[in-house]
Amino acid sequence: EPEVTQTPSHQVTQMGQEVILRCVPISNHLYFYWYRQILGQKVEFLVSFYNNEISEKSEIFDDQFSVERPDGSNFTLKIRSTKLEDSAMYFCASSEAKGIRAEAFFGQGTRLTVV
């Protein structure tokens, strides 16, 4: 079964450092997403990406965040200057079509710890 893969599975970084989280969506999918989940809290939407541009973003997705599809397979989330409160599990997802109507496939997540 095709799957979304994320790397690394764990990342520890110092406050103020830049991190890049990587995702390989399912190959024929067109819509890509990033979510985060702070320990014990709900899954929070960050951003959706389609046709090489951001289609929607939440209030959380401020100027310190950026996304990119640098080649035909990878989808990345960059956090420019990490803060302690950025510590969370970050999930990438992809789907063939947009919105709730389409089944979204999630990766296993990257656990980011900012110290």
Partner 1 sequence: LAKTTQPISMDSYEGQEVNITCSHNNIATNDYITWYQQFPSQGPRFIIQGYKTKVTNEVASLFIPADRKSSTLSLPRVSLSDTAVYYCLVGDGNTPLVFGKGTRLSVIA
Q: Residue 18, exposed/middle/buried by CB under 10 A (0-12, 13-18, 19+)? A: exposed
By CB under 8 A, is residue 101 in contact with partner 1? Answer: yes
Burial 66-79 (b: 16+ CB within 10 A, else e): ebebeeeeebebeb
Residue placing its CB nearer to partner 1 in the complex, 13 or 108: 108
By CB under 8 A, is residue 22 in contact with partner 1? Answer: no
By CB under 8 A, is residue 38 in contact with partner 1? Answer: no
Least separation in angstroms between CB 7 and partner 1? 14
Phi/psi at 12 (nearest 5 deg)?
-115, 130
Residues, the chain:
115
Residue placing its CB nearer to partner 1 in the complex, 43 or 115: 43
Beta bridge pairs of residue 53: 50
Residue recorded with tokens 């095709």: 2
Residue placing its CB nearer to partner 1 in the complex, 69 or 106: 106
Which among 61-69, 70-78, 80-88, 92-100 is the span making contact with partner 1, rule CB under 8 A?
92-100
Where on the chain is the footprint of partner 1 (CB under 8 A)?
A: 4, 33, 35, 42-45, 48, 56, 89, 91, 93, 95, 97-109
